[in-house]
Amino acid sequence: MPADLRDQVRRALEHPNLSTALTRFSEDYRASRDRAYQGIDFEALRARIAERKAYAAERLDGLAARFAETAAACGAHVVRLHTPAEVCGYILGLARRRGVGLIVKSKSMATEEIHLNAALEKAGIEVCETDLGEWIVQLARQRPSHMVLPAIHLTRDDVAGLFSRVAGERLEPEIPRLVRVARQQLREKFLSAGIGITGANIAVAETGSLVLLTNEGNARLVATLPPVHVAVVGIEKLVERFDDIEPILAALPRSATAQQITSYVSIFTGPAEQADGGRKEMHIILYDHRRIEMSEDPLFCQALQCIRCASCLNVCPVYRLVGGHVFGKVYAGAIGTVLTACIEGWDASRGLEQLCIQCGACRDVCPAKIDLPELILEVRRRAAAVAPQPLAERAAFSILSNRRAFHGLLRAASLAQKPLADGPYLRHLPLWLTDAGKNRRLPALAAAPLRDRFPALRQPRSSRRAAFFAGCLIDFVYPEIGEAVVRVLNRAGIEVVFPDKQTCCGAPAHFSGVPEAAAANAGDNVDAFSDAGFEAVISACPTCTAALQTDAPRVLRETGKPELAARAERLAAKTVDFATYVRRLVEEGSLRLPQATGLPPLTYHDSCHLKRTLHADQPPRELLRSAGYELREMPESDVCCGMGGSYSLKMPDVSSAMLARKLRMIASTEAEGAAMDCPGCLMQIRGGCAAAGSPVSVRHTAEWLASLLDGTD
């Protein structure tokens, strides 16, 4: 993480209004978006959009040519331009030829991308944004912080100050009054401008139509009142058929602002009649800066499916804390990270891809079905290839991919920390970890790892055997979770084996964009679990489970190890998360959970990988309930706790802000205990509770269940 980005993140977190406004919005957004989609099959709708947009993304050149033909036949001037300078030059030339001194604009990301306003102003032409939020940001000489709500970081007092200057009178921070002032001020601009510039939400190749959605009605005025209309359209807005408008029109307002439809949808097909009776002059600029290159990329062509709804920003637990300005360029949030890298170049991303905590919330809501977390990982991989990781990080992965070295290091650390340990926590943190320990306590490494304790566990002999995949945290920090798993499975008559040669699941390397190290881990684990004598491979860490189930076969394939990949597939088929497996045992009658009474009420925290990758958020809840625990759901139970593996070390400020919120949510339920299925979340949340002096007992689902089976608590 470059220092300048780190500073910007810190400043954003300290902004008096930014994260409060964005967080409040994101809370409201979840519920209102759900309401807006009521009665609509979202999966079917987004499958349709993804199909139509993917179809278009593969044929941008052809569709652009088709559009140019049809729109020209309707009387529009259509040009295809490639660079920002060409677009600015074209519009500037047009303004000069028509003697235009004032241009009005409705919101357009494409013109922001090319810095059109600056170019026109430099040439002495006044440019006026007419979307209220854009105008506010323009008056404040700032950049939009959100694609749909550009001025969300500003308060009514800020706006009153800005508008007072324009109106030449002192205005009170009363919103309806401020909006009236904007109406008056901008109305004059609409009526006297010589050119109106818009973007387009959709461009239809078959008919040459442009579709524009607004709530304010400013795009209608921009396109109607000045004699010349210029539409600047990124070619990724192209779709093949007029019918393709329908699914986008159904999803865009619902996903963007939780509306069934925006107040205004305007569909332009060629120039309409001008107010004085003549025909309007209409120019359509099809702009493809880097889009064609993106469309030829097997992975990043997916990003061209984006319909710019900003829902990936609205659900992002990091974006809502830091806002859009830290992203630096035009596009913010998950899609912004990808587009900035693709459009501005790999070196322009400046570590933005590190801001993503890989919680997967954006993937679930994207109406164009873009696998944003995966694309961001790919940005990491390519950014790493351009600017290799720091030496310390590379050294870390070379150790991580060598099991003996890695485990040796952990054992040495366990001894070395002894003077630093304070019971289960570290007392003094070495300098490089001080930030990470600011608002949470870090656990001490266990005195003896699970692998050493395992042979001493007294287990029943059984014909039914399952293998346990511990993962680093359970093996070296929380061996007691592993022992709880063993006790629960033993009760169902399952004998648990611990293959000694198992190593890191590969997730840290995978999420850091180092596929070779991930492949080395995957290969070692395939060897370690090659014994066919067990019916399942159980993991009590959802990240490890997901790594074994999906990432291991893929990374082995992609690094040219097809034979290992095939074995990894067989391992993947046997791998299952603890709660899903135990629920299966209960269902088949192998395990009876005690119906205990008088248990502490619990709240359940959803781990990102358990819920959104494994889709196994219900089994742990069902098990805990049927064992007799009362579950009190917390708000946003599925929002990331801020751990994210090494994320909490790389981005300690963001991580601890996310943690603080999670702790508030837990406290709001007044539950005595918190259950979760991921040792990473557990480390974060338990450490946070310890630092805050909270009495809430934080334990893994396996521990809550095991404590009932053996009567100890």
Partner 1 sequence: MIGKFQTSAEDAGAEVVEARSPDAALPAIARILNEEGVGLEGRTAVWPDGPLRSRFHPELLAQMLPGLVLEVTRETAAAAHIGITEFDCGAASTGTLVQDASAAALRLASTLPPVHVALLRAGAIVADISAALRRFDPARTPFLALVTGPSRTADIERVLTIGVHGPKRLVIVIYETETGHAR
Instruction: Summarize as ranges the residues that interact with partner 1 (CB under 8 A).
Output: 21, 24-25, 28, 74, 130-133, 136, 149-152, 154-156, 159, 175-176, 178-179, 182-183, 186-187, 190-191, 204, 207, 209, 215-218, 220-221, 223-225, 242, 245-246, 249-250, 257, 260-277
Task: Supply the angle between the helices 60-73 and 42-57 in degrees, to the nearest 10.
Answer: 90
Of 209 and 539, nearer to partner 1 (C-beta) is 209
Provide, rounded to whole angstroms, the least separation between the CB of residue 277 and partner 1.
7
Provide, rounded to whole angstroms, the least separation between the CB of residue 365 and partner 1.
19
The answer to whether 496 and 459 are in contact (CB under 8 A) is: yes
CA 235 to centroid of chain Cα atoms: 25
Amino acid at 386: V
The b-or-e profile of 154-181 (16+ CB within 10 A means b, else e) is beeebbbbbbbeeeeeebeeeeeebeeb
Of 177 and 427, nearer to partner 1 (C-beta) is 177
Provide, rounded to whole angstroms, the least separation between the CB of residue 25 and partner 1.
6
**Token pair recorded at residue 97:** 């030829």
Amino acid at 492: A
Provide, rounded to whole angstroms, the least separation between the CB of residue 102 and partner 1.
16
Of 308 and 621, nearer to partner 1 (C-beta) is 308
Of 55 and 264, nearer to partner 1 (C-beta) is 264
CA distance 168 to 98: 31
Of 151 and 335, nearer to partner 1 (C-beta) is 151
Of 224 and 402, nearer to partner 1 (C-beta) is 224
Q: Tell me the C-alpha to C-alpha distance, in Å, between residue 213 and each of 218, 268, 308, 309, 555.
A: 10, 12, 12, 11, 42
Of 155 and 459, nearer to partner 1 (C-beta) is 155
SS (H, E, C) 4-21: HHHHHHHHHHHCCCHHHH
Of 251 and 696, nearer to partner 1 (C-beta) is 251
Q: Outline where DSSP puts E strands in 111-254.
A: 126-129, 195-198, 202-204, 209-214, 228-234, 238-239
The answer to whether 680 and 541 are in contact (CB under 8 A) is: yes
CA 76 to centroid of chain Cα atoms: 39
The answer to whether 526 and 563 are in contact (CB under 8 A) is: no
Of 53 and 609, nearer to partner 1 (C-beta) is 53
Q: Tell me the C-alpha to C-alpha distance, in Å, between residue 82 and each of 71, 85, 131, 240.
A: 19, 9, 26, 21
Under DSSP, the state recorded for 535 is: S
Calculate Rg over the CA atoms of the chain.
Answer: 28
Of 53 and 583, nearer to partner 1 (C-beta) is 53
CA distance 439 to 72: 62
Of 260 and 434, nearer to partner 1 (C-beta) is 260
Provide, rounded to whole angstroms, the least separation between the CB of residue 190 and partner 1.
8
Of 276 and 563, nearer to partner 1 (C-beta) is 276
The answer to whether 541 and 678 are in contact (CB under 8 A) is: yes
Amino acid at 513: G
Query: Helix, strand, coil proportions of the chain in percent (round to 5)?
Result: 55, 10, 35
**Token pair recorded at residue 597:** 């009474």
Strand partners, 155: none
Q: Outline where DSSP puts E strands in 564-614.
A: 575-577, 602-604
The answer to whether 136 and 179 are in contact (CB under 8 A) is: no
CA distance 456 to 164: 76
Residue 144's contacts (CB-CB under 8 Å, 6 or more residues apart) are 112, 133, 134, 137, 150, 151, 324
Strand partners, 279: 273
CA 259 to centroid of chain Cα atoms: 22
Amino acid at 210: L
Amino acid at 424: P
The b-or-e profile of 601-637 (16+ CB within 10 A means b, else e) is ebbbbbbbbbbbbbebbebbbbbbeebebebeebebb
Provide, rounded to whole angstroms, the least separation between the CB of residue 273 and partner 1.
5
Under DSSP, the state recorded for 631 is: B
| Length of the chain, in residues | 713
Of 182 and 330, nearer to partner 1 (C-beta) is 182
Of 214 and 701, nearer to partner 1 (C-beta) is 214
Of 273 and 422, nearer to partner 1 (C-beta) is 273
Residue 589's contacts (CB-CB under 8 Å, 6 or more residues apart) are none
Of 156 and 170, nearer to partner 1 (C-beta) is 156
The answer to whether 548 and 505 are in contact (CB under 8 A) is: yes
Q: Tell me the C-alpha to C-alpha distance, in Å, between residue 283 and each of 90, 199, 214, 238.
A: 10, 11, 20, 16
Provide, rounded to whole angstroms, the least separation between the CB of residue 255 and partner 1.
15
Provide, rounded to whole angstroms, the least separation between the CB of residue 189 and partner 1.
11
Provide, rounded to whole angstroms, the least separation between the CB of residue 196 and partner 1.
12
Of 21 and 379, nearer to partner 1 (C-beta) is 21
CA distance 96 to 642: 53
